[in-house]
Amino acid sequence: MSHVVFALGTNIGDRIGHLSYAIERISNHDEIAVSAVSKIYETSPVGGPEQENYLNAVISAESSLPAHDLLEFCHEIENARQRTREVRWGPRTLDVDLLIVGDEVSHDPKLLIPHPRAHERAFVLTPWETIDPLCVIPGYGTVKDCSQAIGSDGVWLSVFQIDGENSES
Q: Which residues participate in catalysis according to the annotation?
A: 83, 92, 95, 97
Rounded to 5°, angle at Cα 153 from 55 and 78: 25
**Helix residue ranges per DSSP H, the chain:** 15-27, 67-80, 122-131, 143-150
- Angle, helices 67-80/15-27, rounded to nearest 10 degrees: 140
- Do the beta carbons of residue 32 and residue 63 sit within 8 Å? yes
**C-alpha span between 151 and 154 (Å, rounded):** 9
